[in-house]
Amino acid sequence: MVNVILCSLQLLITKDNNPSMNYRQKLILDKLNQSEVVTIATLAKELAVSKMTIHRDLEGLQQAGLILKQHGKVSATAKLRRDDPTLCAMCGQKIKERHTFTIIDTEGRKFHLCCPHCGLMAYSRQANNWQTLATDFIHGHVITGAQGHYLIDPELTICCSPSVLAFSSHEEALKFQKGFGGQIVNFHRAIQFLTQSTINS
């Protein structure tokens, strides 16, 4: 196993001699280019370091927009996967039209996300956001993200966890809540909830 790691390290340093990235971070990115998701426990075991060390390495990669850390697991973002427009820019999952969320920045660039959960998280991490577009969960039409009504953590998993569903109508969100639970919040409260749950995970 040590020989495999050393060989991978030599290849990575040759290919990408980025002084701001340590050898573990390069190995983590290499592993994520091979696997969609890897656990923090697996990374700690394979790199023979503590989970705390892995968390520190992942923090820098997440700030660079290369990985998403969620509930003990790590996945590659579309940025790491060469900005494939069919993959979520946050978690790397395949985007389904019914749940898509779009962010347009001040330079006119579009970032496509797989669901409101990833869309709101991406919005909270970018400084130059201009407009957000969500997809109404019931009707499938595009709505302005900032004016949407969001059902947080219902008993229904559509994509990422906790699930977040977007509605154009507060009344329809209430009807859905009666059947599946969760709490209805506005755009900014939804972001607060998700960022807090990430800190606590």
DSSP codes, 139-155:
T--EEEGGG-EEEES-S
Domain with CATH 3.15.10 in the chain: 97-200
Residues near 52 by beta carbon (within 8 Å), at least 6 away in sequence = none
* pLDDT of amino acid 83: 56
* Contact call for residues 66 and 77 (beta carbons, < 8 A): yes
Residue 199 pLDDT exceeds 60? no
* pLDDT of amino acid 189: 97
Q: In which residue are the tokens 């389904």 written? A: 96
Residue 137 pLDDT exceeds 70? yes
* pLDDT of amino acid 200: 56
Residues pairing with 67 in the sheet = 76
Mean pLDDT of 125-134: 91
Q: pLDDT tens digit string along 83-114?
A: 567 778 787 788 888 899 999 988 888 888 99
Among 152, 150, 157, residue whose Cα is nearest residue 186: 150
Domain with CATH 1.10.10.10 in the chain: 2-76
Helix (H) or strand (E) holding 67: strand 67-70
Residues pairing with 111 in the sheet = 103
* pLDDT of amino acid 109: 83
* pLDDT of amino acid 104: 92
**In terms of pLDDT, which residue wins out, 33 or 61?**
61
Mean pLDDT of 163-170: 96
Please state which CATH class domain 97-200 belongs to. Answer: alpha beta
Name the CATH architecture for the domain at 2-76.
Answer: Orthogonal Bundle (1.10)
